[in-house]
Chain A
Amino acid sequence: MNDVQNQPILAVENLTTSFHTRDGWKPVIRDISFHIDAGETLAIVGESGSGKSVTALSTMRLLPRDKSRIEGRILLEGRDLLKISEAEMRAVRGGDIGMIFQEPMTSLNPVFTIGNQLAEALVLHRSMSWREAEAEALRLMERVRIPAAKDRLHEYPHKFSGGMRQRVMIAMALACRPKLLIADEPTTALDVTIQAEILLLIRELQKEENMAVLFITHDMGVVAEVADRTLVVFRGDMVESGETGRIFANPTQPYTKALLASIPRLGSMGDARGPRRFPEVDLTTGIASEGLEMVRTSPETKPVVSVSNLSIRFDLPHGRIHAVENVSFQLHPGETLALVGESGCGKSTTGRAIMRLQKPTKGNIFIGDKDIADISGQELRRLRRSAQMIFQDPFASLNPRIKIGDAIKEPMLSHRLMSRSEAKDRVATLLSQVGLSPDMAERFPHEFSGGQRQRISIARALALSPQVIVADEAVSALDVSVKAQVSNLLLDLQAEHDLAYLFISHDMSVVERISHRVAVMYFGEIVEIGPRAAIFDNPQHPYTQRLIAAVPIPDPSRRAIMQPADSPEIRSPVRPMDYVHPTRQYREVSPGHMVQLDDHVGAA
């Protein structure tokens, strides 16, 4: 490392970044040091609020100048980025350092074409003319494997899927052949199968360019897949750093141990037949409680939800989307049925139909013995009591101006179930049931963390003592340790109240833990359904197999998803108006385990 030839691409020394608050300067990261060599990948891993994104933004000097203070040294090939002028820094941004962000849906400018945005970086840094830059932009799009790049060059971002937008972002970041690529949670918002493709793409391009990569993530599975070395951060402090293999095999710090212990892992179910609680980990000691198996108390009874031949279609000016096609399943009291699949597969639409938030085109949905299509008025209100929903985004699903106690009280009052004072007592009970303190009822949503807000949403859903809860990605947005706690809460509440869950999720490792049965959806259809163990241990449908294989395994010695795979062509969900859906045959693999026979996925 003393050799000038071998000096690291990026060396960060004693980086401390402070934000200006009402109480003066408050450090958000303290004394962070690391280096990255050419061709190497360093992962910075930590939960939300750990300062990992601040580290990246400090390196790029992208934090608001008047509200932040950066101390220490950030050496890019020996040049201190904190000492150069703003103009020199602009040459570094997008030139020497490329950056991709978490949100592919919002990171591209909606009013300029893809080609224009790609060309901009080239015009800025490589003094090309716009015409030359557009030609180069086309080559870049082909390099990140965007199909039909030539036609898509002049399209706007809203016509691209999330995965495709992230490819565009990567192309943009790599336009000027940077020495360092900073990837800030680049795959967090993507489906697992798309995530695998994007990670592979980054890896390949890194090899070709011998780039250093700073990879920021909260996902230990992704870390294990991509990182040569890993830096663990916790509340702004460096906890531990070293070879990724060593960190996973032999973590020395309690926090690292805790982080590793709380990761949901595929295949950790052992012989358990029902769901198993997540081990809960003390973040300061790193000691994990054993995740107990939940024993189902209620015997098989009549299903509480029964969906048969449900189809939901959306008509567009130029065709029709078959969002849900001929879906049938039953859900029993005390049971969790997971609905899995990638975004756009129809799983949320199915959940919304059960809540009668979405009108079915065809088919029946029974809750208890009532067909929900037929009811209205009083009966519908009663139905709404028996089925409740929890949403994904704990920040957006609570009204910021309503005290959480009132938010939980509202359904009880609007259904005229009890008086105000009774409702107040009930709120206190509900809050303690979800692990919050009753005196928190007087607070507003912004005073709570993401995990606490999700607990509030659960309390609100429980307020009417429902029989069914539709949980749409209810734990997806939460940090690992919080995810484990909230999942455990759901399991406990299920055992206590004999609740039936329709658990809509794309997160296979959580699904494996908490469900009794799993239904895999693909392009609006259930392609495989069965007991959890059967689906995970013996997946039959090619899509199920692909879905399970794409889940990153938090074990650096078993890198699995980085094998180049034939990704099937992305199909348009829009069909002609006169399209008639083929009738499908199912085969029973084992009792209750059905797989669709007509293999339309196209994989071997």
Chain B
Amino acid sequence: MNRVVRAFAKRLFGMLIVLLIVATLVFIIVRVTPGDPAAVMLGSDATPADIAQLRERLGLDAPLIVQYGHFMLGLLKGDLGHSIFLNQSVGQALLARAEPTFFLTLFSILIASAIALPVGILSAVKRGTIFDQIVVTLTMVAASVPSFWLGLILIQVFAVQLGWFPASGYGGPATPFLDRLGHLVLPAVALGVVNSALITRFTRAAMLDVLGDDYVRTARAKGANERRVVLKHAFRNALVPIITVIGLSIAMLVAGAVVTETVFGLPGVGNLVVSAVLRRDYPVIQGTLLVVAAIYVLINFIVDMLYVVADPRVRL
């Protein structure tokens, strides 16, 4: 396992460097946004004195390098700053809204994988058959359907007409946990189905690639049955591209939370960003940007680690 430990340490170090760069970029982006944040926040009626006062409160009057030092020091202590409107620290605001985003992403990717892996494998094994052609066509259609449109259809059928699931919202802290999760079923299905299309196509292509390989023939020559040939010998070798696309899908789901949560009225991280942008709540935008970037980096890190586990030849 020496190989895995070494790869882990190396990537972990790389990840820290990336996060440092991301934090710096976020800092710069917020500073170069046109307009004085304080002036924008206070609106056109504000007096110069008010603005100056706010600038001082926000620490914007200090030299850039000092502001940067404060920002980075705060990050080291886990302090993302304080929201201007929410009367909450950015960390608290994010934490309060993490639950729906986390579970929605998790369920969506589970649904997507549960559809995509078996269908993709079967489609590759039965290449050229009617089944395969239907899969190829359907995945193309599904990949071009916007998830919010599918979401609206699902709401119309299962929430409005059948009344099986709530149409939107998430409930408050007082709502029982399972009821809260119940709000996620329709959005998770919508996202899962749309995301399964890409994963199915990748799985099919990866399987087709390895099914023609020599070691698959060797496995057959050994007398292994088809199930074993496909699931053990071929699938293990197709894993690397499949892991990649699942990782990418998760990252896209997190980044796409802005749209999804607006459509389904979910009080998640995406929702937080939208309201922060509308209200020019710079600390929140800054903090969320950083956290989302960190999650992105973390997913890539996990994917890299899975490569090492999935393929003994991979060295990082």
Q: Which residues of A contact B (CB under 8 A)?
A: 60, 62, 87, 90-95, 98-99, 101, 103, 106-112, 120-121, 124-125, 156, 158, 169, 172-173
Q: Which of B197-254 contact A (CB under 8 A)?
A: 213-215, 217-225, 233, 236-237
- Out of A109, A169, A172, which one reaches B233, CB within 8 Å? A109
A90 vs B221: C-alpha distance in the bound complex, in angstroms? 8
| Most-contacted residue by chain A among B217, B218, B219, B222 (CB, 10 A) | B222
| Most-contacted residue by chain A among B217, B221, B225 (CB, 10 A) | B221
Contact residues in B for A108 (Cβ distance below 8 Å): 215, 218
Contact residues in B for A93 (Cβ distance below 8 Å): 220-223
Q: Of the listed stretches B24-32, B115-123, B184-192, B308-316, name the one at the interface; the rest are far from the partner chain.
A: B308-316
* 12 A-B pairs (CB sep. < 8 Å): A62-B217, A90-B224, A92-B223, A94-B223, A106-B213, A106-B215, A109-B215, A109-B233, A109-B237, A110-B237, A111-B310, A125-B223
- The answer to whether B312 touches A156, judged by C-beta atoms less than 8 angstroms apart, is yes
A99 vs B225: C-alpha distance in the bound complex, in angstroms? 16
Contact residues in A for B313 (Cβ distance below 8 Å): 110, 156, 158
- The answer to whether B221 touches A99, judged by C-beta atoms less than 8 angstroms apart, is yes
- Out of B215, B221, B311, B312, which one reaches A62, CB within 8 Å? B221
- Out of A87, A92, A95, A109, which one reaches B219, CB within 8 Å? A109
Task: Decide: A121 near B222, CB < 8 A? Known: A110-B312, A111-B311, A156-B312.
Answer: yes
Contact residues in B for A120 (Cβ distance below 8 Å): 219, 222, 224
Task: Decide: A121 near B237, CB < 8 A? Known: A110-B312, A158-B313.
Answer: no
A32 vs B219: C-alpha distance in the bound complex, in angstroms? 27
- The answer to whether A172 touches B222, judged by C-beta atoms less than 8 angstroms apart, is yes
A60 vs B222: C-alpha distance in the bound complex, in angstroms? 10
Chain B interface category by residue count: 10 to 19
Nearest chain-B residue to A118 (Cβ)? B222
A502 vs B98: C-alpha distance in the bound complex, in angstroms? 67
Contact residues in A for B225 (Cβ distance below 8 Å): 87, 90
- Out of A60, A110, A124, which one reaches B215, CB within 8 Å? A110
A158 vs B233: C-alpha distance in the bound complex, in angstroms? 16
Nearest chain-A residue to B222 (Cβ)? A94
- The answer to whether B217 touches A101, judged by C-beta atoms less than 8 angstroms apart, is yes
A87 vs B225: C-alpha distance in the bound complex, in angstroms? 8
A1 vs B168: C-alpha distance in the bound complex, in angstroms? 82
The 4 closest A-B pairs by CB, nearest first: A94-B223, A94-B222, A93-B223, A106-B214
A113 vs B219: C-alpha distance in the bound complex, in angstroms? 14
Distance (Å) between the CB of B219 and the closest chain A CB?
Answer: 7
A169 vs B310: C-alpha distance in the bound complex, in angstroms? 23
A95 vs B214: C-alpha distance in the bound complex, in angstroms? 19
Contact residues in B for A90 (Cβ distance below 8 Å): 223-225
A124 vs B222: C-alpha distance in the bound complex, in angstroms? 8
Contact residues in B for A62 (Cβ distance below 8 Å): 217, 220-221
Nearest chain-B residue to A66 (Cβ)? B128
A62 vs B222: C-alpha distance in the bound complex, in angstroms? 11
Task: Decide: A169 near B222, CB < 8 A? Known: A111-B237, A111-B312.
Answer: no
Contact residues in A for B312 (Cβ distance below 8 Å): 110-111, 156, 158
A111 vs B224: C-alpha distance in the bound complex, in angstroms? 17
Contact residues in A for B213 (Cβ distance below 8 Å): 106
- The answer to whether A124 touches B224, judged by C-beta atoms less than 8 angstroms apart, is yes
Quick one: CB contact mask for B98-125 with A, threshold 8 Å, 1 for yes? Answer: 0000000000000000000000000000
Contact residues in B for A125 (Cβ distance below 8 Å): 223
Distance (Å) between the CB of A213 and the closest chain B CB?
Answer: 15
Contact residues in A for B223 (Cβ distance below 8 Å): 90-95, 121, 124-125
- The answer to whether B222 touches A107, judged by C-beta atoms less than 8 angstroms apart, is no
A95 vs B311: C-alpha distance in the bound complex, in angstroms? 29
A107 vs B213: C-alpha distance in the bound complex, in angstroms? 8
A126 vs B215: C-alpha distance in the bound complex, in angstroms? 21
Contact residues in A for B221 (Cβ distance below 8 Å): 60, 62, 93-94, 98-99, 101, 173
Distance (Å) between the CB of B235 and the closest chain A CB?
Answer: 10
Distance (Å) between the CB of A269 and the closest chain B CB?
Answer: 38
Contact residues in B for A107 (Cβ distance below 8 Å): 214-215, 217-218
A62 vs B214: C-alpha distance in the bound complex, in angstroms? 12
Contact residues in B for A95 (Cβ distance below 8 Å): 223
A87 vs B236: C-alpha distance in the bound complex, in angstroms? 24
Distance (Å) between the CB of B218 and the closest chain A CB?
Answer: 5
Distance (Å) between the CB of A166 and the closest chain B CB?
Answer: 12
| Most-contacted residue by chain A among B220, B223, B224 (CB, 10 A) | B223
Distance (Å) between the CB of A219 and the closest chain B CB?
Answer: 20
Contact residues in A for B311 (Cβ distance below 8 Å): 110-111
Q: Which of B132-160 contact A (CB under 8 A)?
A: none
Nearest chain-A residue to B236 (Cβ)? A111
Nearest chain-A residue to B237 (Cβ)? A111
Task: Decide: A101 near B218, CB < 8 A? Known: A110-B313, A111-B310, A156-B312.
Answer: yes
Distance (Å) between the CB of A183 and the closest chain B CB?
Answer: 12
A94 vs B220: C-alpha distance in the bound complex, in angstroms? 8
A92 vs B221: C-alpha distance in the bound complex, in angstroms? 9
A228 vs B11: C-alpha distance in the bound complex, in angstroms? 58
A112 vs B239: C-alpha distance in the bound complex, in angstroms? 13
Contact residues in B for A60 (Cβ distance below 8 Å): 221
Given contacts A94-B222, A109-B215, 15 further A-B contacts (CB under 8 A): A62-B220, A62-B221, A90-B225, A94-B223, A103-B214, A107-B215, A107-B218, A108-B215, A110-B215, A110-B311, A110-B312, A111-B312, A112-B233, A120-B219, A124-B224
Distance (Å) between the CB of B288 and the closest chain A CB?
Answer: 39
Contact residues in B for A98 (Cβ distance below 8 Å): 221
Contact residues in B for A91 (Cβ distance below 8 Å): 223
A101 vs B214: C-alpha distance in the bound complex, in angstroms? 9
Nearest chain-B residue to A116 (Cβ)? B232
A60 vs B221: C-alpha distance in the bound complex, in angstroms? 7
A103 vs B216: C-alpha distance in the bound complex, in angstroms? 13
| Most-contacted residue by chain A among B218, B220, B224 (CB, 10 A) | B218
Distance (Å) between the CB of B29 and the closest chain A CB?
Answer: 38
A93 vs B217: C-alpha distance in the bound complex, in angstroms? 11
Distance (Å) between the CB of B206 and the closest chain A CB?
Answer: 13
Nearest chain-A residue to B312 (Cβ)? A156
Contact residues in A for B233 (Cβ distance below 8 Å): 109, 112
Nearest chain-A residue to B310 (Cβ)? A111
| Most-contacted residue by chain B among A91, A108, A120 (CB, 10 A) | A120
